[in-house]
Amino acid sequence: MRIALVCDYALDYLGGAQTALLQQAGALAAAGHEVLLVAPAGRRVPAGLVPPGVEWRRVRARLTLPGLGLPLVRNGRALRAELSGLLAARRIEVVHAHSELGLVAAASAVADDLGIPRLHTVHTLFWRSGLPAALQPLAAALVAAFHRGVTGRRLVAAPVQGAPADAALRRMTVTAARGADAVISPSDHQAALLRAAGLPRVVQLENTVAVPGAARPPALDGAWGPLRVVWAGRATPEKRLGEFVLGAMAAMDVLGPRALRVEIVGEGPDLAAARRMARAHPGIVFLGRRAHGETVRRMVRSHLVALSSHGFDNQPMVVAEACWASRGVLYVDPALREGVATAGALCDDPGAEGIAAELVRLAQDRGEVVALSRQAHAAYELFRGSRHAAALERLADAVRGESRDEAPGMAA
């Protein structure tokens, strides 16, 4: 099929949605589909960012929100005309959106005008403003005004959870997804909330990691040295890097400085505070941002992957990457299921004490670490690129068939 993947976010920004999008593009291209990727670029575009066989049409953003790295592309006549010509020239058969703002709004309107079926993947319905209660009502009004200014749409009155500003952010997601022929949620727990928010056709399909090959579980040979743990992601409040670092420090104090080694891969506003916090623990190493390929290779060289977010993530790419690397996942959020249901070690408490206790337990039970790795190796089948591409192709065929059935002059 000829499919256009559309996203408002800069592809070079460190984020799970961008990683999921790029891995999906690679999986589709590897399966023989023609993939057009329509998205902005930030200031730095690393070599090899876009998978082989994928055409990237960069969209210019006149403004990028400082601190968030979010390009603002407004849904206007010129953009719609550009997209209409592009989709027609490439004979696009399916438009698949991955975000909520102006570019996706424009692409959705153009797809509807051209009679092209639409899919929409929701990467998070768990937006958080982080604002105190007193500022929530004002912030909610600003969110609604911002959304209308960028997309040209009013927020739908969807029944979503959260304080006023958080709910407004979540209604942006529902508004963008409404009207799609099918909505994709990578996790079951988010899918249930999307249905409760009024979206009628929600399909659960896990994210993918389409990197060639997959690691084998480590052997239990008695010569491991320290337990090696990798934490990878954005260093932002919702990812709770600080709680994880505190937990790792406490575990090292119990186990001794040579029994545990932690690598932190990523960047973000909370990184500097985490570095200062761990200054007296040289076993915690901060590597900064690394290319996706190097990040998953570091997972292969580890024994465990850590995920410290709680109540925020949908289906974290870190879990899919850990399963590709055949590494178990230490995690704290009981709502997560895909992958971690078999390959995860859930902390009894999401705070630093719970993380520390689980790290100590696993450092003293290498047999369970190996068992988790074997289970992760098996769980990778959920995230395999060929499986993801085949499922997406079946869904696209279904919505294309429905579109043909509904077209004028065709039998229903």
pLDDT in tens, 115-155: 999 999 999 899 888 889 999 999 999 999 999 999 999 99
Percent of the chain, pLDDT > 90? 79
Tell me: pLDDT of 206 over 90: yes
For residues 363-386, average pLDDT? 94
Where does the pLDDT of residue 412 fall: very low under 50, low under 70, confident under 90, or very high at 90 and above? very low
Instruction: Convert the pLDDT of each residue in 26-36 to its tens digit.
Output: 999 999 999 99
Q: What pLDDT does 75 receive?
A: 96
In our burial notation (b when 16+ CB lie closer than 10 A, e otherwise), range 63-79 reads ebeeeebbbbbbbeeeb
For residue 126, report the phi and psi dihedrals to the nearest 5 degrees.
-115, 35
For residues 35-64, average pLDDT? 87
Where does the pLDDT of residue 188 fall: very low under 50, low under 70, confident under 90, or very high at 90 and above? very high
Whether residue 359 is contained in a domain is answered as: yes
Instruction: Convert the pLDDT of each residue in 162-187 to its tens digit.
Output: 899 999 999 999 999 999 999 999 99
Whether the CB-CB separation of 164 and 178 falls below 8 Å is answered with: no
Q: What pLDDT does 65 receive?
A: 79
Reported as half-sphere exposure (CB side, CA atoms, 13 A), residue 308 has a value of 29
Do 154 and 259 share a domain, yes or no? no
Instruction: Give the Cα separation of 243 and 227 in Å (integer).
Output: 19
Where does the pLDDT of residue 239 fall: very low under 50, low under 70, confident under 90, or very high at 90 and above? very high
Q: What pLDDT does 407 receive?
A: 44
Tell me: pLDDT of 76 over 60: yes
Do 159 and 264 share a domain, yes or no? no
User: pTM for this one?
Assistant: 0.92
- Residue 119: which residues within 8 A CB-CB, separation 6 or more? 94, 95, 96, 97, 180, 181, 182, 183, 184, 392, 395, 396, 399
Do 96 and 29 share a domain, yes or no? yes
Whether residue 215 is contained in a domain is answered as: no
Tell me: pLDDT of 82 over 50: yes
> For residue 69, what are its two tokens?
């790295």
For residues 226-234, average pLDDT? 94
Where does the pLDDT of residue 67 fall: very low under 50, low under 70, confident under 90, or very high at 90 and above? low
Query: Does residue 45 or residue 231 have the better pLDDT?
Result: 231
Write the DSSP symbol of residue 209. B
Do 275 and 250 share a domain, yes or no? yes
Instruction: Convert the pLDDT of each residue in 114-123 to its tens digit.
Output: 999 999 999 9
Where does the pLDDT of residue 210 fall: very low under 50, low under 70, confident under 90, or very high at 90 and above? confident
Q: Which of 49-58, 222-231, 293-302, 386-395 has the lowest mean pLDDT?
A: 222-231
Q: CATH number for the domain including 126? A: 3.40.50.2000
**Residue 326 region by backbone torsions, left for phi larger than 0, else alpha for psi between -120 and 50, else beta:** left
Whether residue 350 is contained in a domain is answered as: yes
Do 355 and 238 share a domain, yes or no? yes
Range of the domain at 88: 2-208+385-406
* Burial (Cβ within 10 Å: 0-12, 13-18, ≥19) of residue 409: exposed
Whether residue 216 is contained in a domain is answered as: no
> For residue 271, what are its two tokens?
């990184």
Do 146 and 249 share a domain, yes or no? no
Q: What pLDDT does 151 receive?
A: 96
Instruction: Count the neighbouring beta carbons within 10 Å of the beta carbon of residue 328.
Output: 31
Tell me: pLDDT of 112 over 60: yes
Q: Positive or negative, the Cα torsion across 96, 99, 100, 102?
A: negative
Tell me: pLDDT of 255 over 60: yes
> For residue 231, what are its two tokens?
């934490």
- Residue 236: which residues within 8 A CB-CB, separation 6 or more? 268, 269, 270
Q: What pLDDT does 225 receive?
A: 85
Where does the pLDDT of residue 409 fall: very low under 50, low under 70, confident under 90, or very high at 90 and above? very low
Do 100 and 118 share a domain, yes or no? yes
Number of domains in the chain: 2
Q: What pLDDT does 49 receive?
A: 86
In our burial notation (b when 16+ CB lie closer than 10 A, e otherwise), range 90-102 reads eebbbbbbbbbbb
